[in-house]
Amino acid sequence: MNIRIYNARILTMEAHCEILEGEIQIQGDRITYLGKEKHSDDIKWDKEIDAEKNLIMPGFKNAHTHSAMTFLRSYADDLPLQEWLYQQVFPMEAKLTEEAVYWFAMLANMEYLTSGITANFDMYMKNEANAKASVDSGFRTVLCGSINDFGGTVREIEEEYRHFNDYDPLISYQLGFHAEYTTKREILEEMAALGKRYKAPVYTHNSETEQEVADCIERYGKTPTAFLDSLGMFAYGGGGFHCVHMTQEDLDICKERGIRIVTNPSSNLKLASGIAPIKKILDMGIDLAIGTDGPASNNCLDMFREMFLVTGLQKVSLKDASAVDAQEVLTMATVGGARVMGLDDCDILAEGKYADLIMVDLHQPNMQPINNIKKNIVYSGSKQNIRMAMVAGKILYQDGSFLFGIEPEEVYAKVNECIARMKKEG
């Protein structure tokens, strides 16, 4: 498909970029032109879209989530963490089938699109079903290894790494394990060796709760970051999800090893985990991205909520209303996410990059007046402002409709059927 979007404001998200006025041309899955309006009469356009002066920008990257956990949304909230996890979440997860994961992940992909998210970094089980849901919905997914003592082997992670990195242009895979606190030392050492063999970064949940850090210190005499680093886990970089309770030494290790950090502020509030030291991480020049976490803990997959919280929580916890400005937040939500996920061709809007982009509706009351569009998006934006979301040159969501060929009501019916069955199994 050749698509031309004209009469647009364009935010490329290149460093220090200003908002341009003009058009963007897409041929196949790539951006082929971006700049002042030109008609390019030599190209046959399948679609010419008048952006009506709305904003075109890179899609948001959801850099940490567990998509298929949609089935646990609002299933057991307002409970203490341990009771929630052991009495509610684990018993239901044990009943998951491939079919269920397929529909639950499909539902998440739809929700991502409504929030302008065009790619996710997904850590969960039954990756074949998850990948199929993304390919069938045209969505871009980076899978993340998730083994722990309760499931999977390092051998399987290696197989998945090779399989999913040669699966479909929309799918890629990064090495990973669930967390230090769920994974015995022997597996961790094998994972570190695997990372070295493939010269690949390794990703994991890290220092989400105070308890987790205290337990690791008791077990190994080191924080999770220092302990994993001592095993050579981050020889080729990697990333940590959450990273709420990080010492200065932990952050120094991140800086030195190129360990990227993905923050999940809503989840950290809802599960009472704490507030991550985002300003400090930014000041140290460590790469930062934003994730929603899974819908069991958040419960919604909404980058607008996360963006406001990334800055709002720093302002209140540092007692400084100037901490972490809107431009920094937008960078985390787009370029930062792409960097963490290894999506080098999805970071900014430029010729040759993948056409993973969104149209933000500025003709809504919450985007008016036009004093400052970037600040409007971070401080005032909502899902309601997403007019269109495109992945790899295909429009998947536009004006409230999903265009990838599966009816929403079919997805909802399948999802509710699967859950009813799982609940019934008792």
Q: Give the torsion sign (CA, 347, 350, 356, 360).
A: positive
Specify the residue for token string 């493939």: 198
CB 105 within 8 A of CB 115: no
Q: In terms of CB distance, is 230 or 372 closer to its own copies?
A: 372
Least distance between its own copies and beta carbon 379 (Å): 4
Q: In terms of CB distance, is 228 or 386 closer to its own copies?
A: 386
* DSSP reduced 3-state for 347: coil
Least distance between its own copies and beta carbon 59 (Å): 16
Q: In terms of CB distance, is 76 or 235 closer to its own copies?
A: 76
Least distance between its own copies and beta carbon 405 (Å): 16
Q: In terms of CB distance, is 57 or 188 closer to its own copies?
A: 57
Q: In terms of CB distance, is 153 or 368 closer to its own copies?
A: 368
CB 140 within 8 A of CB 343: yes
DSSP string, 348-390: S--TTSB--EEEE--SSGGG-S-S-HHHIIIII--GGGEEEEE
Task: Single out the residue of 50, 46, 55 nearest to residue 361, CA to CA.
Answer: 55
Tokens of 148: 């722990």
The per-residue b/e assignment along 3-13, b for 16 or more CB within 10 angstroms, e otherwise, is bbbbebbbbbb
**Residue 379, phi then psi, degrees to nearest 5:** -95, -20
217 C-beta neighbours (distance < 10 Å), count: 14
Least distance between its own copies and beta carbon 21 (Å): 16
Burial of 226 by CB count in 10 Å (0-12 exposed, 13-18 middle, 19+ buried)? middle
Q: In terms of CB distance, is 146 or 297 closer to its own copies?
A: 297
Least distance between its own copies and beta carbon 77 (Å): 5
Least distance between its own copies and beta carbon 61 (Å): 18
Least distance between its own copies and beta carbon 386 (Å): 8
User: Please, which residues have CB within 8 angstroms of residue 410's CB and are 6 or more apart in sequence?
Assistant: none
Q: In terms of CB distance, is 41 or 78 closer to its own copies?
A: 78
Least distance between its own copies and beta carbon 377 (Å): 9
Q: In terms of CB distance, is 15 or 321 closer to its own copies?
A: 321
**Residue 191, phi then psi, degrees to nearest 5:** -65, -45
Gap between the Cα atoms of 334 and 327, Å rounded: 11
Least distance between its own copies and beta carbon 352 (Å): 32
Least distance between its own copies and beta carbon 210 (Å): 9
Task: Single out the residue of 264, 270, 347 nearest to residue 310, CA to CA.
Answer: 264
Q: In terms of CB distance, is 26 or 419 closer to its own copies?
A: 419
- Helix or strand run (H / E) with residue 177: strand 171-179
Give 7's DSSP letter. Answer: E
DSSP string, 64-119: EE-GGGGGGTTTS-SS-HHHIIIIIIHHHHTT--HHHHHHHHHHHHHHHHHTTEEE
Q: In terms of CB distance, is 102 or 308 closer to its own copies?
A: 308
Q: In terms of CB distance, is 159 or 325 closer to its own copies?
A: 325
Least distance between its own copies and beta carbon 421 (Å): 12
